[in-house]
Copies of this chain bind each other. A is one copy, B any other.
Amino acid sequence: MTKLNKDPSLTHEQKLDRLGEVAVRVGLGLQPGQELVMTASLDALPLVRRITEHAYKAGASLVTTLFSDEEATLMRYRHAPDGSFDVASGWLFDGMASAFRNGAARLAIAGENPSLLAGQDPDKVSRANRARSKAYMPALELIAGFDINWTIASFASPAWARAVFPNETEEVAVAKLWDAIFAASRVDLVDPISAWGEHNKALHARTKLLNDKRYSALRFVGPGTDLTVGLADDHEWEGGASTAKNGIVCNPNIPSEEVFTTPHKNRVSGHVTSTKPLSYQGTLIEDISVRFEEGRIVDATARKGSDVLSKVLDTDEGARRLGEVALVPDSSPISASGLLFYNTLFDENAACHIALGQAYAKCIRGGDTMSPEDLAARGANKSLIHIDWMIGSRHIDIDGIGANGSVEPIMRQGEWA
C-alpha cells in the first residue's frame, strides 16, 4: 500500500478532520502567529470547526469566521425595500482588506445552494451582486494579487448535494457528495500531505513546459466552438502551489487540477459554447454561447439564466473580456467522477475553462510588482467580476499557435497531446 493509495479504514469524521488539516497546511500553508479570516455558510460548521482547530494547532493567533445564512439572504429578497439591493456591507469587506494588509490569511468555504436565488427578480440579483462585487474589490485585489496566502475548500451542504444527486434521498446525496469532495481533495489517501506534494510537482512540470513554449495564442475547436484565445504578452502559466507576496506557499484551490494563464484582453476571437452549466451566485446559467471580436463579447445567448448572464456582462467594460484561460485534461479525477457539480470549484477542475473579468497579476511574468497600467499594457483584463465557465470536453481539440504562426497540438479529444 503506497501513500497514494486510498485508505478504506477512514471514517467520515477522520476524513473531515483531514480535510481541515489539508486546508490549513496545504491550502493556506498557515504560519505561526498568522490571523485567519474564514467565510462559510452556517451549514459548514462541522468543517469550520475542524479547520479552526488545525489553524490553532498550526499556531494561528486568532481565527475569525464570518458565517452567512442563506435563509437571511432569502428574507432580504422577500421583504427588503427595492432600493436596498444596491447596498453591500462595505465596512465588513474593508475590515477584511485591512486584516489582509496586516498579515491575515484567507479561507473561503464553498458549497452553497447552486440555485438559491432561482425565481428571484434578476434585476435585484444583479444589483446585489454588483454592489457586493464593488464593495469586495479592495479585499479581492489583495487576494487575486496574491498579497496573502489564501485558499478555497468546500463542504457538502444538503442543497448542493440534492442538486448533484437529484435521485437520491438527502442523506445519501450528502454522503455521496462528501465522498466526491474527499476524493477530489485527496484526503481519502493514506498520506494526503505527500499526495498533494506529488500532485503539485506534476502541475509544476506542466506549467514549465507551457511557459517554455511561449505560445502567442490557443485555438479551441469542437462542436459549437472555434475560439482563438490570444495570450497576454509575458504571460505566465500557473498551477498547483503558488508563493504569495508574503513569501508563504499556498494552494489556492482544494481541489485543483488546472494550469492557467492570462489571455490578452483584446486578442480573443471566434465563438464558443459552454460544456457544463454555470452556477453563478445562486443562479444556474446553461448552454452559454458567445462570439468574441477583438477580445470583446459581441453576442451572447444562454438557454437558461440569460437574464442574469446579460446583466453580468454589463457589470463593467472588463466583464465582456477574458481574464483567464485554463487547461484541464478530460481524464482528471474530478471529470472522471462523471458528476456535474454545479459548483465552479469542482466543475472548473473537470474541464478546460475561460473566465470573464479580472485577470491574475501572478499570470504575467513580474506582474506581482507591476502597476495596473503596466499590467493592462500587456493585455491583462480588469473587472469587478471573475467568472469561470467550462468550455472543455472530450470533443475538444486545442492547438498552441507560435509567434511565427506555427501550430502544435496541445490537447486532442480532451487529453494532453
Contacts and interface: CB of A to CB of B under 8 A. Distances in A.
B67 A42 contact: yes
Contacts of A102: 91
A65 B95 CA distance: 15
A66 interface: yes
Contacts of A266: none
A412 B284 CA distance: 69
Determine how many copies of this chain the complex contains: 2
A406 interface: no
Contact of A75 (B52, B92, B94): B52
A79 B67 CA distance: 22
A69 B49 contact: yes
A89 interface: yes
B84 A33 contact: yes
Contacts of A89: 35, 62, 64, 99
A87 interface: yes
Contacts of A61: 80-81, 83-84, 87
Interface of A: 32-33, 35, 42, 45, 48-49, 52-53, 56-57, 59-67, 69, 71-72, 75-76, 78-81, 83-84, 87-89, 91-92, 94-96, 98-99, 102, 104
A88 B62 contact: yes
Contacts of A95: 91-92, 94-96, 98
11 contacts: A33-B83, A48-B69, A48-B72, A49-B69, A49-B75, A56-B79, A59-B80, A61-B84, A63-B72, A95-B95, A95-B98
Contacts of A98: 91, 94-95
B65 A72 contact: yes
A42 B35 CA distance: 21
Contacts of A63: 72, 76
A52, A62, A66, A89 interface centre (most CB from chain B within 10 Å): A62
Contacts of A56: 75-76, 78-80
Given A42-B67, A52-B72, 6 more contacts: A45-B69, A49-B69, A53-B75, A56-B80, A92-B95, A95-B96
Contacts of A35: 87, 89
Nearest to A64: B89
A80 to B, nearest CB: 4
Contacts of A87: 35, 61-62
